[in-house]
Amino acid sequence: MEKNRIVIGTRSSKLALWQADYVADSLRREYPELQVEKKLMTTKGDRILDAPLAKIGGKGLFTKELETTMLAGEIDIAVHSLKDMPTEVPEGLVISAITKRLDAGDALVSGKFRSLEELPAGAKVGTSSLRRKAQLLHARPDLNIQDLRGNVNTRLRKLEEEHFDAIVLAVAGLKRLGFADRITEVLPKELLLPAVGQGALAIETRADDAEVRRIIAFLNDEDTVNCARAERAFLARVEGGCQVPVGVHATVAGKELAVEAVIASLDGKRLYRDVRKGSCEEAETIGTALAERLLDAGGWEILHELGLLSGQGSAE
């Protein structure tokens, strides 16, 4: 191996640091002689905490500064939550590895109630995600859903401080930070489909850096990659951003890929949901076809009502 040092760019939140350390530790185990360093950065999404994500932009909020630094040659790789990655990666960069998905689900966290079903009418539920809000309102239109921003630790603190009856967070983030015991209920995907790529990590590199791409190739999980190809193709076709409530989840059984997705109105009153299956080789085709089906079923109408036909992702 020619290269003896890799610099990982990462956001400085506890979850982002966990993700970067996971990749760094994996690299050190695979290549004991490799020197692995971290460069901590703050993104626009980290700095602006007093506005809903849908109001301040799309997925690039959590990736742009890292990508600019990588293009400048200051870092070799960037580690992201895959769900924070825009469907179009900047010229000169590429997603070179996607790790095995931990858990794609969403969790209800409550100090007062044991399940979503047990929440009383008018219960105050916190989430920063329009995807979660729309699907929750579809199931429970009586809930009072309020914006909740900040990292995982901040949101858990606000659960008590701001008197939420419950909040909704990604299962993977809670587990990675050691908060599995805070999960009140893992919400079934029949009720709440996750964000594109939820639970998986994306490792971004310069497209022309063949040595680094070769070094990190062992981190790639083929099943998760196939799922991500379908989910990201779906999102690219819908052009859904924070501004459009979109959920999608792909699973692999043998060589068959099943993709389930939803497009909903903001108030949850209209919800279009469908499934499409096929071979893993056809992942993008399956995702795109499913998007077309849901758009034709009523999704186009929702996008037109929102005035958003050129969104940039679904960062949460």
- Closest by CA position to 93, among listed 212, 182, 213, 207: 207
pLDDT at 151: 87
Active-site residue identified among 76, 84, 106, 209: 84
- Closest by CA position to 131, among listed 187, 60, 179: 187
Task: Tell me if residue 84 is catalytic.
Answer: yes
d(CA 34, CA 29): 9
pLDDT at 15: 92
Domains and CATH numbers, the chain: 1-100+200-220 (3.40.190.10), 106-187 (3.40.190.10), 222-316 (3.30.160.40)
CA 10, 15, 20, 22: dihedral to nearest 10 degrees? 180
DSSP element (H, E) containing 15: helix 14-30
pLDDT at 56: 44
Rg value, the chain, Cα = 19
CB-based burial label for 308 (10 Å; 0-12, 13-18, 19+): middle
Residues of the chain with pLDDT under 50: 56, 310-316
Inter-residue contact 41 to 66 (CB < 8 Å):
yes
pLDDT at 241: 56
